[in-house]
Chain A
Amino acid sequence: MDRAETQTPPPEALTVVPLRHYGLWVGTAITLAILGLILKALATNPAFDWPTVGKYLFHPSIMRGLGQTLVLTVTIMVLAIIIGTIVAIMRLSPSRILNAFASAYIWFFRGAPALIQLIFWFNLALVVREFSLTLPFVGTLFTVKTNDFMTPFVAAVIALSLHEAGYMAEIVRAGINSVASGQTEAAGSLGMNHRLILRRITLPQAMRFIVPPTGNETINLLKTTSLVTIIAVNDLLYAAQSIYARTFETIPLLIVVAFWYLFVVTILSICQHYIEQYYGRSDLQQGASFGDTLKRAFRFGRVAQPA
């Protein structure tokens, strides 16, 4: 046996003949053909009208619309994170009433379509004519007509942040639940109170599970804000619509809009990556650099996969 082993040639003398993946080649060829057709259409079809796209790409009213879309997204997301965290904490509280209220909130605001909630808040005056604060022995402090403060922008912020908070509440709850109970016990045994434990121990660890879906939600929300055109908030899509309503350059302007949405989504994805890295810094496995991630995402050719 020993003799036989010493007589076999060393392994580097053997050539490996790779398995031919004919199916893979055919698939790649078809994909390239389709890609070619699309590129040809994009380049030659006059309906795309690239010079017009270029003309409107940095148009002042498009820029104003983009600004409005960004302001909406940031405002709504910040409010949604705050409301969502409060609802999540209520959902995890030992009180049955708080728990039931939080469940009902999530059921309603996550369940009802965003568009319907948007139109409802914009038309709130049909339900409630005015708001007034009356204190006993003091009298009415102030009264405002609903129509005076429920501008399209305010309606959009209220409707979409309540809607988004329904999603955020579930994300935060899942994050908090993902932190091992031993962490809370250890903190408790050191004399930390509930609020301190939540702020210093549970939430920071939950962030690693909260950040990725929150990034997705932000990207989703950025696009959902285009619904506000229906109540005439001057966002990116509305700006484009008002131009093509006059000039009938519909397709080029939609391309302009799509370009800006994709541009912002790309920026957001990059930010998300760095935030994830920050909260995962205690985790050795997440040490990959941004370049590595890019390489992994965009690597060409065949990827070795374990069977």
Chain B
Amino acid sequence: MTSKAENQARFGVPDNSMVFARGVRKSFGAVEVLKGIDLNVPTGSVACVIGPSGSGKSTFLRCINHLEEVSGGVLLVDGEFVGYDLRHGKLYEVNNKLLCQRRADIGMVFQSFNLFSHMTALENLIEAPIMVKGMSKAEAKDKAHALLERVGLSAKADAYPRQLSGGQQQRVAIARALAMNPKVLLFDEPTSALDPELVGEVLVVMRDLAESGMTMVVVTHEIGFAREVGDQLIFMDRGVVEERGEPREMIANPQSTRTREFLSHVL
């Protein structure tokens, strides 16, 4: 197994990098949806990915925690491949146990929330810390209550997902991801399934997280959020990064015609 330092030297990963991608490719059958994506997300920063649907941005996000296997290129989280170990110049698929350990450090928030529908909000939060990390029930509960308070839902601990609004469900889902103390949080269009008046409450929680120093990769259509919270903005189109830059600058003055076109539709 190569160490983090060896990987960093070999692939030229900058210091302080949490998510590093170079030439990431992904094909579904004959269709290539990612055609060489490069990205570096430094620890503690927020990267926002925008782009039209079908541009591959969600697929790229799912590659980061190995929900999808990459077809080519290098994708490292905290200096390590998530689904592989590099030995003698070959990528060996890691066993299930190791994959689960690494995934536990990468939180993910889904467009459709995906709260466990047979569990209350509190049970959703304590499930993985107890079953995966072996935390004691009392400790997990204390932590869960603190997290629910942080997302403003301490009163809803015993509610089932069905009894919560979309915005509340998504806030519980964020708290559930946080309960695992992840190194990085991935957001897959977290507000796209929400009624417009519920988007704000989720964005407030996300902004609070960003300010607390959480490393975040956010696939979103919320340009306002990207401008105010993002440290870098990536515009993806047809499987490539069409343009990237400092959010305010890029939104105010896009260089590529495709970016300009896209922004004119969403702004």
| A residues with CB within 8 A of B | 180, 182-183, 185-194, 196, 200-201, 204-205, 279, 281-284
Contact = CB atoms under 8 A, between A and B. Distances in A.
Main secondary structure of the interface of A (DSSP, over half): helix
Q: Which of A191, A201, A282 has the most CB of B within 10 A?
A: A191
B104 A191 contact: yes
Interface stretch (B26-34, B111-119, B239-247): B111-119
Contacts of A183: 114, 116-117
A205 to B, nearest CB: 5
Interface in B134-184: 160-163, 173, 176-177, 180
A205 B118 contact: yes
B103 A188 contact: yes
Contacts of A282: 117-120, 160-162
Nearest to B179: A190
A190 B96 contact: no
12 contacts: A182-B112, A187-B128, A189-B108, A190-B180, A191-B105, A192-B128, A192-B132, A194-B96, A201-B116, A204-B118, A282-B119, A282-B162
Q: Which of A182, A189, A282, A283 has the most CB of B within 10 A?
A: A189
A192 B131 contact: yes
B106 interface: yes
Given A196-B132, A282-B161, A191 B103 contact: yes
Q: Which of B101, B114, B118, B160 has the most CB of A within 10 A?
A: B118
Given A193-B97, A283-B162, A186 B110 contact: yes
Contacts of B161: 282
Nearest to A204: B118
B114 A200 contact: no
Contact of A192 (B100, B115, B163): B100
Contacts of A284: 160, 162-163
Contact of A189 (B97, B106, B115, B163): B106
Contacts of B162: 282-284
Nearest to B160: A282
Chain B interface size, as a band, is 20 to 34
A201 B116 CA distance: 7
Contacts of A193: 96-97, 100
Contacts of B132: 190-192, 196
Contacts of A279: 118
Contacts of B114: 180, 182-183, 185-186
A194 B95 CA distance: 12
B80 interface: no
Given A185-B67, A190-B177, A282-B118, 8 more contacts: A186-B173, A188-B100, A190-B176, A191-B101, A191-B180, A192-B132, A201-B116, A282-B161
B65 interface: yes
B214 to A, nearest CB: 16
B237 interface: no
B127 interface: yes
B107 interface: yes
Contacts of B101: 191
Contacts of A194: 96
B103 A189 contact: yes
Contacts of A190: 103-104, 127-128, 132, 176-177, 180
Contacts of B106: 189
B110 A185 contact: yes
